[in-house]
Amino acid sequence: MTAVTIIAGVLALGVMGYLFYMLFKGDKT
């Protein structure tokens, strides 16, 4: 794995986690 692949993976997980967090937070509101 290269640094670019690692960074891309971390960013993808961060974005998906953020979206799921916002969806669950908005759903409970």
Range of the domain at 11: 1-29
pLDDT of residue 1: 75
pLDDT score, position 28: 65
Which pLDDT tens digit goes with each residue over 1-29? 799 999 999 999 999 999 999 999 877 65
Confidence (pLDDT) at 17: 94
How many separate helices (H) and strands (E) can be counted in the chain? 1, 0
Predicted pLDDT at 25:
86
Predicted local distance difference test score (pLDDT) of residue 2: 95
CB atoms within 10 A of CB 11: 10
Q: How many domains does the chain have?
A: 1
pLDDT attached to residue 26: 78
- How confident is the model at residue 20, as a pLDDT? 93
